[in-house]
Amino acid sequence: MTRILVTGSTDGLGRATAQSLLDDGHDVVVHARNDERAAALASLTDRGAELLVVDLADRGAVVAAASRLDAEGPVDAVVHNAGVISGRSLVPVNVVAPYLFTALLTTPTRHVYLSSGMHRGGRAELDRIDWSGSTDSASYSDTKLLVTALAAGIAERWAPDVLANAVDPGWVPTKMGGAGAPDDFELGHRTQERLVTDPDLRVSGGYWFHGEQQEPHPAVHDPAFRERLLDVLAAETGVLLPSR
């Protein structure tokens, strides 16, 4: 049994992931942006899931939440599922929050970051990004490229002790994807569940789609880009990525 944090678990893929992990007997920490959204998680918390309420666009709140989680007991794995599709919170929620949870939680040995096939349209540029979210400086595709590179960077920096992978769940029928999305919702959450629980699956640095590894944007394979991304995130947040 493992303790697993699933961010963005009030609905869609995050909720399905959390529910499946709970069904399989794992200790699950579910996450909501605010108390109003947390009400949707009552059926999971009634079954024993822990609840974390934090606005991932609020950098200070994320730092405090990571500290609380660490103090309450070891977190074995994280599914960085939460994401937004537009607006000024794109970079803080889709990139900065996953970095902060990765850097500050001391015990996880597996991290899975939700990417998207749209990351291939992202721009591998760091200088123009407003990491604070004060301005609208990046597209959804940009942020998904960055978080995919983050996964590869963590896999390299912390090998072999920590496994880090990115998953494209597909264009599935969720609130974000729309009711007419063509991909299989069930397949959209099974890969990340396996990556955080299967003791025989020791792959790290992969980019996955429906159980199979695929080739990501070329920048993800660029060690200089990955290292610069980690350095910029550390400088911008004031939170260094510890050695493992």
SS3 string of 226-240? HHHHHHHHHHHHCCC
Which of 9, 8, 181 minimizes the C-alpha distance to 98? 8
Catalytic one of 99, 144, 175, 207 = 144
- Tell me the CA distances in angstroms from 202 to 82, 99, 160, one per residue in order: 24, 22, 9
Q: Is 140 a residue of the active site?
A: yes
Distant-in-sequence, close-in-space partners of 72: CB < 8 Å, separation ≥ 6: 50
Q: Is 175 a residue of the active site?
A: no
Enumerate the active-site residues: 140, 144
